[in-house]
Every structure is written in structure tokens, then in C-alpha cells.
Amino acid sequence: MAMEFTKYHGLGNDFILIDNRSSSLPVLTPQQAIKLCDRHFGIGADGVIFALPGENGTDYTMRIFNSDGSEPEMCGNGIRCLAGFLADLEGEARNKDSYRIHTLAGVMIPQLLSDGQVKVDMGLPRLLAGEIPTTLTPTEEKVINQPLEVAGKTWDVTCVSMGNPHCITFVEDIAAIELETIGPKFEHHPAFPQRINTEFIQVVRRDYLKMRVWERGAGITLACGTGACASLVAGVLTGKCDRIATIELPGGVLQIEWSDIDQRVYMTGPAEKVFTGKL
């Protein structure tokens, strides 16, 4: 049976969006998602996102399969793309500018702004080792500037969960990082039992950070929304940046705020439709 899809990207982090509102389970298998994400023999994407019916009073549910078939809890760039996709699906029937989206990381609330950007309430960061999870410190302690040996070098790392796990390390020059080599060694390090997303951060100013990322299940990507959020939180925890900052990624910039009022993290950035097609 023919299936329509829409390709979106958020700062070059690209996704295949599927209208899955008629079923509570994804209409594709992880193996099928792998084939569709292949950039030579498929559509090409970092992941496939399914828009499913809402759960527990939410408007919709988000599920995502990475390009390797694994399923992450959440995706920051992906949920902005999903918000744009849902607005397109609803068309003239749309009567709201924000959605309550059920994800495996909890309820996320993207808001469509008048300038075309999408602002997402990403919720509270989780900071305890048991919440990441990682074995770098006891489960009830935070992981801030902890030494981690990877590839014969000791890195100072800070770990944050935005519903999915992140390991952040601050470096002098992100361009000097051999990401293809070092990224997989972080991802599969035994200190991270559920694997890890890894962000390498260069502080330009207290309100401006540069970031490169190795994503769990996807490898090098042009942007990672949850990673940008986790990196700002790590910067605040280590005294390296302000609570509001611009994060520059290879695909563009995101505006991130860790509110000192409600302690929630807010991400603002674009979601661009690329094309539609039929499988």
C-alpha cells in the first residue's frame, strides 16, 4: 500500500515524517526505517519520525527510529520538525499554535512562532548519575567535571539527561576533534550502559557556544537539539556560560535558555520542509 511522507530538517538534522495517526504503533519496522534512511539506496535521513495519536491527554505521540534502527527517547530537532508537520496535516482546521506531545522522555510542548521558528519547552534537565544513566559517580550524585578516559586521553565530562543521555566536554578547538574516531568510543564506553550522545563544546563567549556532536544511533549529525540543551546546562553547571546562549552547530544556530524561574529548558530554532513523496 502506498504511503506518503514528508522530508523535514532542523539545521540539517533531517527526518522522514510519517502520518501515523490511524494507529498507535509505528507503521514501519526499524529495519524498514534503516533502508529509508540510507542516503544512497533510500530517501536519506538521520531518522524516521511517526506522528501517532496522543496518549494520556496529549495531542499527539512522537516515536522515532534512528538511521541504525534504534529508538531514542526524544529528539529536539525532530520535535520541531514534527510540530511543523502536524501544522501542515491539520491545515485550515488548526486552531492552536502549540501542541502537547507525548514522547518516551515525557511530555514536550512545541510552539509555532509567528516568524516561522519553533520554541519547545524541553522540560527539566535530569542531573543525577542514575538518571543519565552512567557509572561515573554514585547514582544519587551529579556528574560535573568528572574525569573519563577515552582513547588514551582523560577528558573532563559533565553529564545531563534531557530525557536522553548526554556527555559534554569543553575543548579549546572543536575543529581539532577527530569526531569520526572519538565519537564511537564515547558512545560505547562502558561507563554508559545505554550508550551516550557526546557533545564537544568551544566557549566563544559566555552567551555563545560552538558545538559538534556524535549522536547515539546516528553518528555525526549537523545538529542535535537535546544536545544543545544539555550543553547549555553543562556550561551553567561548570560556570562556563550564562543561562541564555546561542549554540552554533554545523547546520546553524539554536537559542537555548535554562530558566532560573521554573528551571525548565527552552529551545528555539527552525524546522524546514524539504519535499513530500510517496513510498
Q: Would you name the residues annotated as active-site residues?
A: 75, 224
DSSP state of 39: T
Cell digits for 109? 510542548
Distance CA(175)–CA(256), nearest Å, equals 22
Which of helix, strand or coil describes residue 17? strand
Phi-psi region of 119 (alpha: psi -120 to 50; beta: other; left: phi over 0): beta
Cβ pair 101, 58 in contact under 8 A:
yes
Distance CA(100)–CA(277), nearest Å, equals 27
Burial of 52 (0-12, 13-18, 19+ CB in 10 A): buried
Q: At 95, which amino acid appears? A: N
Cβ pair 257, 265 in contact under 8 A:
yes
> If you compute the radius of gyration of the chain from its CA atoms, what whole number of angstroms results?
18
